[in-house]
Amino acid sequence: MPPIHTATSADSNTGEPLLRVRDLRVSFKLDEGMVRAVDGVSFDVFPGQVVGIVGESGCGKSVTMKAILQLIEPPGRITSGEILYRQGPDEAIDLSRLPPRGQTMRALRGADIALIPQEPMAAFSPVHTVGEQIVEAIMLHGRQRYGRSINRHDARAITVDLFRDVGISIPEQRIDAYSWQLSGGLRQRAMIAMALSCKPRLLIADEPTTAIDVTTQAQILALLRELQRKYDTAIIFITHDLGVIAQMANYVVVMYLGRVMEEGPVDEIFHTPRHPYTRALLRSIPSMQGETRTALPIIKGTLPHPFNRPSGCPFHPRCDDVMPERCTKAVPVLHSVGQRRAVSCFLHSELAEPA
């Protein structure tokens, strides 16, 4: 295979995807009407790869994450699509068909597929020590993930090792701390230890560094990169920060109003963006090199209210390249434009969603 633009070797992974999301749709039925939070999202996650999902608030990135973990609460509902998770060489299960509280999903959630939430303060229980909470997870999933049942003593030893792994000093003591006794950085490290405790194959990180300082963020990102290499875990990294995405992801999915605007290898998304939204987004961030105290290029208008979805392409009212006849009337399909590269824009493909 000819070497294509690759940020890391993981890009050239040609095996079967670990997770395959196809045309996922999630709706929330509210009194005011139907909100289509996720409206036809497709992407693949390969083993050992970091997929970044980037978008502004309300773009559906967190709902996508919740759908994968089957954590959508009523009135929300997965209305269509597939979430194929590959358990073995020839064995894929569609997570979207599984009952959220059923045996299979409960065995997968927190074990095969683990989550690093945005706010570790809210995710840890304040009345149990962080160690206890991790020990509990290890004992619960032990047989399945470690191949043997694990007693409390062993689980504690595993937790101490994990703490050391994620760079928590004096782990033997910190394991008995409550979450509120730890600093933001340590708390997030403990959360990462918890997420890794059952040797996940897929890790979902939902804005894991949004609530912490830049220097701590740099530490956490470096840690995640290192652990990812060490355990070869696949990661779905959700963030609104383009800098973080550039530094973390191999493959990027850009979302807007519940739809994928564009996806592709990280280098191509940042250096040859195809969708007007991606281009506008990249232009609008203040850089560390550019001119200062000048007007930044902006994306005109505001994010539409979810009940007021524009007709046609959801981005057309704010798009600089809008084609009035075309973009306002039909919804462009996410169409492949090269190897592992797809764009949903009429500038690149004439294909429209069936009306």
Minimal distance, residue 247 CB to another protein, in Å:
5
Residue 271, judged by CB atoms within 10 A of its CB (0-12, 13-18, 19+), counts as exposed
Q: Is residue 168 at the binding interface for another protein, with CB under 8 A as the rule?
A: no
Q: What is the DSSP string of 309-348?
A: PPSSSTTGGG-TT--HHHHTT-PBP-EE-STT-EE--TTT
Given candidates 33, 99, 126, 297, which one binds another protein under the rule CB under 8 A? 297
Where helices occur in the chain by DSSP H, the ranges are 61-68, 103-108, 120-123, 130-146, 152-165, 171-174, 184-196, 214-231, 242-248, 266-271, 276-283, 324-327
Scan residues 47-76 and list those touching another protein (CB under 8 A).
Answer: 56-57
Minimal distance, residue 99 CB to another protein, in Å:
35
Given candidates 47, 139, 154, 243, which one binds another protein under the rule CB under 8 A? 243
- How many CA atoms lie within 13 Å of 318's alpha carbon, on the beta-carbon side? 21
Q: Is residue 30 at the binding interface for another protein, with CB under 8 A as the rule?
A: no
Helix or strand or coil: residue 298? Answer: coil
# binding residues, another protein (CB under 8 A): 50
Q: Is residue 286 at the binding interface for another protein, with CB under 8 A as the rule?
A: yes
Return d(Cα 94, Cα 20) in angstroms, integer. Answer: 9
- Return the structure tokens found at 124: 């840890």
**Distances, alpha carbon 88 to alpha carbons 17, 34, 326, in Å:** 11, 37, 44
What is the rounded radius of gyration, in angstroms, for the C-alpha atoms of the chain? 21
Considering only the stretches 69-77, 82-90, 148-156, 286-294, report the one whose residues sit in contact with another protein under the rule CB under 8 A: 286-294
Considering only the stretches 82-90, 100-108, 132-140, 267-275, report the one whose residues sit in contact with another protein under the rule CB under 8 A: 267-275
Q: Is residue 241 at the binding interface for another protein, with CB under 8 A as the rule?
A: yes
Q: Is residue 280 at the binding interface for another protein, with CB under 8 A as the rule?
A: yes
Binding mask 99-118 for another protein (x = CB under 8 A): --------------------
List interacting residues with another protein (CB under 8 A): 7, 56-57, 183-186, 213-219, 221-222, 225, 240-247, 249, 266-267, 270-271, 280-282, 284-290, 292-299, 302-303
